Amino acid sequence: MTFAFCLPLVVAAVLVFVASSLIHMVIKWHQSDYQRLGNEDEVRAAIRNASPAPGQYVIPFCADMKDAGSPDMQKKFSEGPVGMLLLRPNGMPKIGVNLSQWFALNLLVAAIAAHLAATTLGAGADGHRVFHTTALITFIAYAGGSITDAVWKGYPWKAVAKDLLDALIFGAVSGAAFAWLWPH
């Protein structure tokens, strides 16, 4: 892949970043994906009292799937709650770090799309084919994780549908950037 493919790659990453910012800060259609517990202060106090390190936890915890059939574990699962808990370090979120990591991911996805399109289509390819190829690659990259989280972590399918719409938008803006700036 030559330097000529770098301009559409960077523009695609920037456009995805802008589209994502508009989705989350202006339109805010993901705001309803998160709910508040009625007894949030009690739950926070219980978690704080346990002093868990930042990380991912499951409730109830079952160290080995062989133990899932035990009467004690069966009771815990039937009584509930059953879920996953993601804990971050205490303190205000470091949004600058998150945005930097998000932009780095946008660059990585765009670089993969550029590489695959450059090696399969080459310079001078028809803009329509460039659009479809790069849009599909970026859609898959942004959509896959959400579906996996729904299947394995119980992420709500309604929220996944919004994530898939995000991915479709990201694919479209990426495809448009590549088609517009593709080297001839």
Query: pLDDT tens digits, the chain, 184 residues: what are they?
Result: 678 889 999 999 999 999 999 999 999 999 999 999 999 999 999 999 999 999 999 999 998 888 899 999 999 999 999 999 999 999 999 999 999 999 999 999 999 999 999 999 999 999 999 999 999 999 999 999 999 999 999 999 999 999 999 999 999 999 999 999 999 8
Q: Which residues of 9-18 are buried (b: 16+ CB within 10 A; e: fewer)?
A: bbbbbbbbbe
Distance CA 160, CA 143 (A): 9
Q: Is the pTM for the entire model greater than 0.85? A: yes
Residue in the block written with tokens 């892949």: 1
Angle (deg, nearest 10), helices 127-153 and 6-21 = 50
